[in-house]
Structure 1
Amino acid sequence: MQQIAFLIYPDFQFMGLAAATVFEFANLELPEPIYEISYISETGGPIPTSLGMAVDTKAFSDARFDTLIIGGGNGMVRASRGVKDFVTLALTQSRRVASICTGAYVLAEAGILDGRRATTHWAYARDLQERFPAVRMEEDRIFIIDGSVWTSAGMTAGIDLALAMVEKDLGADLARSVAKKLVVHHRRAGGQSQFSVLLEMDAKTDRIQSALVYARNNLRTALSVEQLADAAHLSPRQFSRAFRAETGQSPAKAVENLRVEAARLMMEQGRHPIDVVAEETGFADRERMRRAFLRAFGQPPQTIRRNAQRDYPG
């Protein structure tokens, strides 16, 4: 039986406990349960979460855990000396120690992230990097595995982290079955972006949103302004003016961003040749795609793929 412990502290972000459901459903898929889930805290007893509800916990003890998971709070998390000592000891005794969201501050304060690649919620990544410069922060990642230390982005990324753990433990088929029952996409790649281009552009009207959705669904085509304007039921001149007013960028730049997002996902989650990825996402050739990746990420497509495979080789 693998012991999975969630470290709880006052005002712990309740969403972090969603990861526990992944292990619960993994148990339901097996003839005999493999995971035993517990909730621990420095003091023991009921600990209030961010929503005010209390979670009953056991106090720190000499018990050993296969996996220790530290969730985040609604902001920067400061760890007590007792918590830092406990986490530091767990690193030597547990197969893996993980953080969700701003739980990464706890690992950083304990010195566990020094020299390691790590991620956290995008809104706190730069603050954590400034406070702990020895951390090799990668702010736009869903999760990162560096040795026995796992870190993830915020909120639902904890589910991706837990699914990745189940896949490591029990295989891709079982993890896929758990994801299906939870009605989530099966394991977003660790290197996948925390952001969505469509959400970032935040189109205000249905017409511009319709044009963006049309573009995303037709990336293999040329996607001229005339095509997009037709999808929005506007003249090209009206469309270009309205598009820039709502998104803050030109239609051409928006299309490039959509192509880059789709190409990055193909590079991370598949083994398609670069020429195929470039063709499927509407880049004229691999060189144009490479230049677009450098503008967007400062890295060529091959590096994006290599990083994703390093984060999660399975």
Structure 2
Amino acid sequence: MHRIGYILPEGFQVMALATQAVFELANLVSRRTFYTVETYALDGTVRASTGLVLQAKPLTTHSSADTWLVAGTIMPLDTPPAPELIQLLGKIAARARRAAGLCTGAFLLADAGLLDKRRATTHWYWAEALQQRHPQTQIEADRIYIADGPIWTSAGMTAEIDLALALVEKDLGAKIARSVAHRLVMHQRRSGGQSQHSEMLKLAPKSDRIQQALEHARRNLSQSLSVEDLAEAASLSPRQFSRVFTAETGQSPAKAVEGLRLEAARLMIESSRHPLEVVARETGFRDRRHMREAFMRGFGMPPQAVRREARV
């Protein structure tokens, strides 16, 4: 049995509690009680940033867990944690198998000295502040989650669920983690190396028709995806589609499709060992050279450099 302990600071962000469903479903899918989940706070009673008051177990030097998950707060610089909490975190984390900072929970890990000389991430909005506060930590602002030895950190909000799923995969295997993600009705599982910023989210179309066209493009990136193809998916004429698409997304259809191809190619390069020729073909670039040109425009570096960074 693996004991999961949640540490909730005063003013914690309630999204952290959503990750408990990952471990609950992992037990259900694996048909055994592999995880037990307990919630701790410094004084037992703790208030969330939304005003929710939660009764937790008091956190003491005798508290123990195999994995500690530390919740973050909405405004980490405005709500510094209690010194006693930081001291306790440093002591109990040293006895655990691993510790994870959810979103701005990375600030608490860093304050406790657990991120010294380690790679870490946090919500993109607070990444620079964390780096300035703890220069001995290597903050990688554009990552969903990072595991550096026994210390894990995640980006903000929904990325906490990606980290929890990665913990389940580490413990119980990829099949169980995929099944849990399916039960959670997740659109996709994101790898730790994936960017915090999504092309689909950035485009943010307002109408269902343009959304349908983008979904069609995302599912068929290996195809040519002409304006006519996308217009047909949106049930619009090519001329009307181009006009509406640009008005809603601020980009031309060709530019948006290239962004989706780049995002898919980067994820494939970072998370697989496929040759670049295969990556280019699967994501719709004419060839490896065409993909390289797009990477230089989009990321300022060639695909080989992206792969090297991912391996490091």
Give the shorter-chain TM-score range.
0.7 to 0.9
2:40 pairs with 1:40 = yes
Number of residue pairs matched by the alignment: 308
2:18 alignment partner AA? A
Residue of structure 2 in register with 1:160 after alignment: 162
**Alignment partner, residue 69 of structure 1:** 69
In the alignment, which residue of structure 1 is the partner of 2:102? 100
Deviations 1:115-137 (A, max 9, x none): 32111122222332333333322
Q: 2:299, 2:115 → 1: CA distance?
A: 23
Mapped contact 2:13–2:71 kept (Cα < 8 A): yes
Query: Measured at CA, do residues 16 and 307 of structure 1 come closer, stay the same or move farther in structure 2, by a change above 3 Å?
Result: farther
SS of equivalent residue, structure 2 residue 124: coil
Aligned mates of 1:118, 1:129 — CA distance in 2: 10
Rate the CA distance shift 1:243–1:30 in 2: closer, same or farther, 3 A: closer
Alpha-carbon spacing, 1:242–1:149, altered in 2? closer, same or farther (3 Å): same
Counterparts of 1:21 and 1:231, CA distance in 2:
36
Q: What secondary structure, in the 3-state scheme, does the structure 1 residue paired with 2:46 have?
A: strand
2:87 aligned residue = 85
- Give the Cα separation in 1 of the matches to 2:158 and 2:145: 11
Normalised TM-score (structure 2): 0.86
Contact 2:193–2:271 at 8 Å: present in 1 too? no
Q: Residues 209 and 3 of structure 1: is their aligned pair in 2 closer, same or farther, counting only changes over 3 Å?
A: closer
Q: 1:120 to 1:223 in 2, by over 3 A?
A: same
Report the residue type matching 1:169 in the other structure: D
Corresponding residue for residue 50 of structure 1: 49
Partner in structure 2 of residue 171 of structure 1: 173
Amino acid at match of 1:162: A
Seq. identity, %: 52
Distance 1:243 1:31 in 2: 47
TM-score between the two structures when normalised by the length of structure 1? 0.85
Tell me the CA shift for residue 251 of structure 1: 3.5
The alpha-carbon deviation at position 164 of structure 1 amounts to: 1.1
Q: Flag structure 2 segments of 5+ consecutive residues without an equivalent.
A: none
List runs of 5+ in structure 1 lacking aligned partners.
none
Change (3 A) 1:173 1:227: closer
- 2:125 paired residue number: 123
Q: 1:60 is matched with which residue?
A: 59
**Residues in 1 aligned to 2:119 and 2:298: alpha-carbon distance in whole angstroms:** 21
Correspondence for 2:196? 194
Bigger mean CA offset, 135-144 vs 249-258: 249-258
C-alpha displacement of 1:155: 1.7
Q: 1:82 to 1:303 in 2, by over 3 A?
A: farther
Contact in 2 for aligned 1:176/1:186 (Cα 8 Å): no
Q: Counterpart of 1:2?
A: 2
Change over 3 Å in CA distance of 1:20–1:226 after alignment to 2: closer
Paired position in structure 1 for 2:263: 261
CA distance in 1, matches of 2:25, 2:242: 49
Distance of aligned partners of 1:60 and 1:257 in 2 relative to their CA distance in 1, 3 Å threshold: same
Aligned AA (1:266): M
Residue of 188, 203, 207 corresponding to 2:205: 203
RMSD between aligned residues:
2.7
